[in-house]
Amino acid sequence: MTNTSSPIAFLFPGQGSQVVGMGKELADNYPIARRTFEEADASLGYKLSQVCFEGPEEKLKLTEITQPAILTASIAAFRVLQEKGVTPQFVAGHSLGEYSAHVAAGTFTFADAVRTVRNRGKYMQEAVPVGVGAMAAILGMTLDKVSALAREAAQGEVCDIGNINSPEQIVLSGNTGAITRAIALATQRGAKKAVNLPVSAPFHCSLMQPAQDRLARDLAALSFRNPSCPIVCNVDAALVTQADAARDALIRQVTATVKWEPSVRLLIDRGATLFVEVGPAKVLWGLMRQIDRSKTSLSVADEASLQKTLAQVTTAA
């Protein structure tokens, strides 16, 4: 299959996209997808595939299981697309998804990535005692206004911008008290919605520094290569083409803001018109519609979405 004449960007989802049953249909239908799950099982020393396919949901939601699970489901879908001749000119991933993007670009091996994100999840969970941190989504408020109320809500605690997801959605991360105050301020000041997120730790804020320090040691020991295609890194919303820059960006990412909207806008500026979310759920597909509805946005998570994407890519070629 030939690719489209305009650049394709593959987008890989992060934590929160997990769903029981993810990847099962592709694993049942495509040996390459099944082998991907088997490789994850062997790398981790337990049946991650069983948790992905059958649950229980409570187990799948444990951060150190969620992270390798989403990575594996995403790479299984990516490898099926690759086998069908669909290759990206750019890749990007939301938080955890940046690891999937690097596997797709060959920066490091899938087996190394699976083990690294298991530890990443563990370190992030252990960095802050349960109940001490929280995250909140603020909808329908500009970044400037959310930044201002975050500074006001902090009162000596941490209240950082965790994610810039779209023009409609900013996520705050920090101490529980500060996040509670921020929700109240956002509600008073006309946010469409301000709600706590069901997360087990305050990701992408300065409270994650202990996790970042531990992960830095793991990443330093990992073998990195220059990626085969440019990757947009979360932390800078900039293109990464070198191994050392990739490693540095993944380290800094743990405490830094996920600059997702600026990352997608960079891809648009570079000429990408076709965006394919590769992995479970359609979270990034939904954000894409908030960022720029004029671009073609597809997803691949199961047989139906795969066939729809293949049909559209062939038509556009």
pLDDT tens per residue, range 254-290: 999 999 999 999 999 999 999 999 999 999 999 999 9
Q: Of residues 95, 166, 173, 297, which has the active-site annotation? A: 95
Domains held by the chain: number: 2
Whether the predicted model's global pTM rises above the 0.75 cut: yes
Q: What is the pLDDT of residues 209-254, one digit of tens each?
A: 999 999 999 999 999 999 999 999 999 999 999 999 999 999 999 9
Considering the domain architecture, whether residues 223 and 265 belong to the same structural domain is answered as yes
Range of the domain at 179: 133-199
- Count the neighbouring beta carbons within 10 Å of the beta carbon of residue 99: 29
Give strand pairing partners of 277: 11, 299
Considering the domain architecture, whether residues 99 and 186 belong to the same structural domain is answered as no
Considering the domain architecture, whether residues 15 and 39 belong to the same structural domain is answered as yes
Q: Residue 164 belongs to a domain with what CATH number?
A: 3.30.70.250
Mean pLDDT calculated for residue range 106-122 = 98
Tell me whether residue 299 is exposed, middle or buried, using C-beta atoms within 10 angstroms of its C-beta: 0 to 12, 13 to 18, 19 or more: buried
Q: Which of 168, 199, 230 is the last residue of a domain?
A: 199
Lowest mean pLDDT of 5-14, 100-109, 296-305, name the range.
Answer: 5-14
Considering the domain architecture, whether residues 97 and 121 belong to the same structural domain is answered as yes
The answer to whether residue 138 is domain-embedded is yes
Q: Residue 231 belongs to a domain with what CATH number?
A: 3.40.366.10
95 classed as catalytic: yes
Distance CA 201, CA 85 (A): 39
The answer to whether residue 284 is domain-embedded is yes
Average pLDDT score over the chain: 96
Give strand pairing partners of 276: 10, 298
Considering the domain architecture, whether residues 96 and 37 belong to the same structural domain is answered as yes
Considering the domain architecture, whether residues 171 and 266 belong to the same structural domain is answered as no
Q: Of residues 17, 166, 204, 305, which has the active-site annotation? A: 204
The answer to whether residue 2 is domain-embedded is no
Considering the domain architecture, whether residues 17 and 112 belong to the same structural domain is answered as yes
200 classed as catalytic: no
Distance CA 55, CA 280 (A): 14
> What element of type H or E holds 2?
none
Considering the domain architecture, whether residues 31 and 13 belong to the same structural domain is answered as yes
Considering the domain architecture, whether residues 91 and 175 belong to the same structural domain is answered as no
The answer to whether residue 3 is domain-embedded is no
